[in-house]
Structure 1
Amino acid sequence: MDRNTLTGMLLIAAIMLGWSYFMKPNEAELKQYQHQTDSIKNAKAGIKTAPVTANKTVKFADSAALQEQFITLENEKVKITLSTKGGRVYSTELKGQKTWNGKPIILFNGDENRFGLKLPLTTKNVNTTDELFQPIGSSFSVAGKDSNSVTMRLAFSATQYVDYVYSLKGDSYLLNFGVKMAGMNQLLNPSAKTLNLEWKSDLIQQEKDKKNEQTYTTVFYQKENGDVDYLSESKDKEEKLEEPIKWISFKQHFFSTVLIAQNKFQTGTLSTVTDLTKSNLKNLSADLVVPIQSKPDEQLNFTFYFGPNHFTTLKNVGYDLQSQIKLGWGPLGWINRWAVIPLFNFLDNFNLNYGIIILILTVVLKLVLLPITYSSYLSQAKMRALKPEMDAIKAKVGEEDQTKLQQEYLKLYKQAGVNPLAGCIPLLLQMPILLAFFRFFPASFELRQQPFLWMNDLSTYDSVINFGVNIPFLGNHLSLMCVLMTISTLIYTWMNNRISGVTGQMKYIGYIMPVVFLGALNSFPAGLNFYYFCANIITFLQQFIIRKFVNDDAIHAKIQENKKRPGASQKSKWQMRLEEMTKQQQAAQQRKK
């Protein structure tokens, strides 16, 4: 071997040794290679493995540890269970709340829900709902002002992953939900400027009356301009949103799950479906479009609300969530928001039974309306005093010519100084308040499962008799409080007929409505029927007292005195128009002859 050959072989050996040393894989690369090898073996064996992550705190154990796991987050109000399958909220239990049959209130019902992001990768589309996440952190419980968090990670490589970060504070119905995407801009389709968030939920029955609860169950949402809207409660509906929204709520009668975007949802498709073959209430779904910026470190922030549809609680959360509680349109809503609810909350501070609170509320309302009630009674007394003269006019004119008869009546009203509509106006003024209560009691969370007398729950009907089958007009039960309310209304109608002096068919028409109410209100909350019952009883007492201060003879004498005053016999413009109409009708009849 000559000198040049030896030198060449030594150089080649030195290069190979140097290559081996400098190109040796590091520890992370060795783990990645081992993971790939294990993945191939497990794939052949049908075992699903988790991706490798660079986070030192996560230990990847054997395949048994890669099965679905659950982590519990808990405070004074909620117990939230997270699943590594989809990294999502698996179920949420509201503490201190029970269903009508004593079971825990569960808002997210395990496998009956789907929640996750659809990731449009360059190679394929990934739905996080179907993927196994790795937990970073463990179960915890917080109280007071304390807070804690846990992360669910879906890793595609050591530097490319999606984190779901859940943070919970003590004494709160809110769960902060952050989505962190690290290095995912390299994997996502370059043209992707949005992500789709899929949320579907089969809502379970919480209340006694399933049919009634279904009428309050739907999807609510807030538009970017602040308006709150919702899908139809009475029929299946699908709606495509053409403008951004701030939050979306899967609302039941007394509880809601709300997802609030710290930025916005760009657009979305919402739907409600009622499947009568299932025990669930409704299937609600939302396919929401979330804008992204395709940055190396993308951060999306959301907040969940799991809690009751309690007006003050929702209002304190913000975002106008209390608009989910339907208190009535226009003046009805104003009355409930600015008068009924503040008064109800004030009385609630005294820790009284809610039946007593309803009674006090009714008394206060009747005292406020007392001047109107007095005015109405006084008008009826004046009409009673005129009744003999009106009967004489009817006998003289006859009932065939109604126009002439009304003309003579108006002349009598003007001479006597009586306004026949004075008795109707007070009733019309009371109607908005009565209708406001009609909307308030069914929506009042405070009455839920609150007993009074024989009524176990003021928020639903009291079924003193259960028929076992549906009976036309009544349903499958009979509410005792509704029966009492109907009886008291019939008595009130009888007394009102005596006071007003109504005769003929009108005397009996008034008895029809209370019977209709028996069927209409039989399935309404016992609290509402109790309010109407109390209102009737208090009205009886008011009329009894008012009669002590109203002298019919004095009213009659005053009317006769009014008829003597100057100008009493002059015709009003309305009378003159009525006379002109009468003449035209008579002329038309003559031409026909």
Structure 2
Amino acid sequence: MDRNSWIGLALIVGVMFFWSYLTKPTPEETAERQKVQDSLIQVQKDRAQKQILLDQEMANNPSITNSGANSDSIVKSQLGDFSSFASGERKFYTVENNLMKIRFLNQGGRVYSVELKNYKKFDGTPLILFDGDSTEFGLNFFAQNRSIATNQLFFEMEKGSDNLVVSDKPETMAFILKLAEGQHIEYVYTISPDTYHVDFDINFLGMNNLISANTGNIALQWKSFISSLEKGRKWEESNTTIIYKFNEADIDKLSETSDEANENLNTPLKWISYKQQFFNVALIADGAFSNASVKLEKELTNPNYLKQFSSEISLPYNSKANESIPMSFYFGPNHYQTLKKLDVDLEEVVTLGRNIIRWINVGVVIPLFNWLGKFIGNYGVIILVLTIIIKLVLFPFTYKSYISTAKMKVLKPEVDKLSEKFPKPEDAMKKQQATMALYKKVGVSPLGGCLPMLFQMPILFAMFRFFPNSIELRQESFLWAQDLSSYDAVIHLPFTVPLGFGDHISLWCLLMTIVNVVYLKFNDQMSMSNNQIPGMKLMMYMMPVMMLFWFNSYASALSYYYFLSLLITIIQTWLIRKTVSDEEVLAKLKAAQANKKVAPKSKWQTRLEEMAKQKGYQLPKK
């Protein structure tokens, strides 16, 4: 790569950085945006606080709730027999096992929040999967010709305690809306030790006389604001979506990159998952949900949240006197083995690629990674050993690729003679055919150096999927990288560089880029020609620069792996080069040519000869 190419490359990068600096917002604009954002957040907080105070005031001051027959009659007309549950005192109940702490709220009889004990947010605070005030969960149905929503009704705790610890056996929390003796709606939660899985049953007793008989289904409304839990918000946002599994085994999802997406799912479903980069909350049917509609919206006002998810799920209801709808929750990490144990294909929420890429990750990478983890305590060292093992397995392909390139290199003088023999553009077909005849004569395939590399591509793509989505690497440090699942920012910029670069510089990504350039330079020295087209050479060296932009905000573990992989490839190639000389390769070619029997023509050569004959070219004599 000559000086002009380097200057051109530097100018391109410089212009991009300069443009980013020019277009960055001024401190006044930043302050104004923050002011608007803070005001919106404050309005939301004020509204929520006013509602809480109003609920408390109504619960504590009977003169408000019972100020007159007019107020009672309005509530009675709206809720009918459910009007007695419209007001009450908000009470919280806690159940915890060794993995999570669940808070229940009597208003709605629902799970208010879930804390995962073994994980923290990126800032070191407790990891709360969702906050109850930003979540809705309840039944919507018609009873006595009225629309009833249980999310705001006050349940009574039927079974459990204020603080329940699950140690050696499952424990139950039950909440009930008891309209009369033998007539109620009951929510039953069963929490077991050593699991993120919670059984959830909705029981109806004697409700067939109240709930419309022709309903067929009861709607379950589930809304939630998805909290930001990781350091790299953009990457986390692009891995946050609603994933769902149809009862016939097909799995689909809403677009992660859309600001708004929705889907009407008109066939039975097995589960719906509110999935984030490393965690998910899933509602799993014991049998199947009848159908559902799902929707996501990107959250633009509150920086604490990524997106808003909502689902309206149809639960099968047969209007029986005694009826139960069993289902369950999963509140936990996107850990492949943990999810697989549930045996409902929930492990599919872990982004590991598709087809052969996923097969490599599931069948090879994850078992090998976990096996190494039994003996090595540092994940940076595990990645190093994993890379060495992979490169040793792929070494035969690397060796074959080198030998093929070396053969092409030693044949270059012969190819140059053919170029001199057929200098005219109209002789291009003759030159091509003569070149192919030469390769066939000495037993060299032009694709010999490419095919071995193609076999390695699935592994490269598998690593691209594995490292950014491996929860084992989350908040694990190595050298200067504090979190291998996120970028390792060693320099923070006062502006944001476009094309995904961000407002920081990742050192592992920078080192990967440098080694990539060295690798290209090393390969360039071994290529057949030193007179490549300048534009092509510039494009070749532009690729590492583009990778710098693409990978700068990716998981540092991925950049670290590619850095190691390229470095080991350089070492392997250097060792092969030291042990295999061009003279030795040429001697083997001549020996093979002397001992070679006349082989049948390949389809490619036959086709070239036919094309040449059709154009009236005279074929060279052997």
TM-score by length of 2: 0.82
Counterpart Cα distance in 1 of 2:589 and 2:519? 27
Higher mean displacement: 492-501 or 246-255: 492-501
Query: Structure 1 stretches of 5 or more lacking a match?
Result: 1-37, 52-61, 588-593
Counterpart Cα distance in 2 of 1:129 and 1:554? 80
Taking a change above 3 Å as real, the CA distance of residues 399 and 209 of structure 1, as seen in their structure-2 partners, is farther
* 1:107 has 2:129 as partner: yes
Contact 1:77 1:173 in 2 (8 A): yes
Contact 1:562 1:568 in 2 (8 A): no
Counterpart Cα distance in 1 of 2:456 and 2:529? 21
1:281 is matched with which residue: 298, 301, 306?
306
* 1:455 has 2:477 as partner: no
Contact 2:243 2:349 in 1 (8 A): yes
Residue 116 of structure 1 corresponds to which residue in structure 2?
A: 138
Q: Map of 1:161-560 to 2, 5 A cutoff?
A: 161-235=184-258, 236-279=260-303, 280-398=305-423, 400=425, 401-473=427-499, 474-503=501-530, 504-505=532-533, 506-560=536-590
Counterpart Cα distance in 1 of 2:596 and 2:323? 87
Question: SS at 2:490's partner residue?
Answer: strand
Counterpart Cα distance in 2 of 1:260 and 1:302? 6
Instruction: Give the partner amino acid of 1:84.
Output: N
Question: SS at 2:411's partner residue?
Answer: helix
Taking a change above 3 Å as real, the CA distance of residues 572 and 306 of structure 1, as seen in their structure-2 partners, is closer
Shift of 1:232: 1.2
Counterpart Cα distance in 2 of 1:477 and 1:101? 18
Shift of 1:99: 0.9
Shift of 1:353: 0.6
Instruction: Give the partner amino acid of 1:241.
Output: L
Counterpart Cα distance in 1 of 2:469 and 2:166? 30
Taking a change above 3 Å as real, the CA distance of residues 164 and 40 of structure 1, as seen in their structure-2 partners, is farther
Shift of 1:88: 0.7
Shift of 1:395: 2.1
Contact 2:93 2:162 in 1 (8 A): yes
Taking a change above 3 Å as real, the CA distance of residues 584 and 276 of structure 1, as seen in their structure-2 partners, is farther
The size of the alignment, in residue pairs, is: 538
Taking a change above 3 Å as real, the CA distance of residues 576 and 315 of structure 1, as seen in their structure-2 partners, is closer
Taking a change above 3 Å as real, the CA distance of residues 575 and 41 of structure 1, as seen in their structure-2 partners, is closer
Residue 72 of structure 1 corresponds to which residue in structure 2?
A: 94
Instruction: Give the partner amino acid of 1:278.
Output: N
Residue 117 of structure 2 corresponds to which residue in structure 1?
A: 95
Residue 132 of structure 1 corresponds to which residue in structure 2?
A: 154
1:81 is matched with which residue: 82, 103, 116?
103
Q: Deviations over 1:381-426 (max 9, x none)?
A: 1111101111222122126243222112111111221111110010
Higher mean displacement: 247-256 or 567-576: 567-576
Counterpart Cα distance in 1 of 2:589 and 2:287? 70
Per chain length, whose mean CA-contact separation is higher, i.e. which structure has more relative contact order (CA < 8 Å, sep 6+)?
2
Counterpart Cα distance in 2 of 1:122 and 1:344? 59
Q: Deviations over 1:280-324 (max 9, x none)?
A: 111111100001121222111111110000111111122111011
* 1:152 has 2:175 as partner: yes
Instruction: Give the partner amino acid of 2:578.
Output: K
Taking a change above 3 Å as real, the CA distance of residues 41 and 278 of structure 1, as seen in their structure-2 partners, is closer
**Structure having the higher Rg:** 1
Shift of 1:564: 4.1
Shift of 1:573: 5.2
Shift of 1:39: 8.9
Query: Structure 2 stretches of 5 or more lacking a match?
Result: 1-60, 76-83, 618-622
Contact 1:333 1:436 in 2 (8 A): yes
Contact 2:95 2:166 in 1 (8 A): no
Higher mean displacement: 219-228 or 567-576: 567-576
Shift of 1:367: 0.6
Question: SS at 2:314's partner residue?
Answer: strand
Higher mean displacement: 219-228 or 427-436: 219-228
Counterpart Cα distance in 2 of 1:150 and 1:463? 45
Contact 2:130 2:227 in 1 (8 A): no
Instruction: Give the partner amino acid of 2:404.
Output: S
Counterpart Cα distance in 2 of 1:570 and 1:365? 37
Question: SS at 1:379's partner residue?
Answer: helix
TM-score by length of 1: 0.86
Higher mean displacement: 244-253 or 160-169: 160-169
Instruction: Give the partner amino acid of 1:249.
Output: S
Instruction: Give the partner amino acid of 2:326.
Output: N
Counterpart Cα distance in 2 of 1:179 and 1:111? 22
Contact 1:415 1:569 in 2 (8 A): no
Counterpart Cα distance in 1 of 2:328 and 2:403? 58
Question: SS at 2:585's partner residue?
Answer: helix
Taking a change above 3 Å as real, the CA distance of residues 399 and 234 of structure 1, as seen in their structure-2 partners, is farther
Counterpart Cα distance in 1 of 2:601 and 2:185? 86
Question: SS at 2:66's partner residue?
Answer: helix
Counterpart Cα distance in 1 of 2:605 and 2:172? 79
Instruction: Give the partner amino acid of 1:301.
Output: P
Counterpart Cα distance in 1 of 2:408 and 2:216? 75
Counterpart Cα distance in 1 of 2:509 and 2:424? 40
CA RMSD in angstroms, aligned pairs only: 2.4
Counterpart Cα distance in 1 of 2:358 and 2:163? 42
Higher mean displacement: 409-418 or 390-399: 390-399
Taking a change above 3 Å as real, the CA distance of residues 566 and 151 of structure 1, as seen in their structure-2 partners, is closer
Counterpart Cα distance in 1 of 2:589 and 2:277? 55
Taking a change above 3 Å as real, the CA distance of residues 151 and 566 of structure 1, as seen in their structure-2 partners, is closer
Contact 1:414 1:568 in 2 (8 A): no
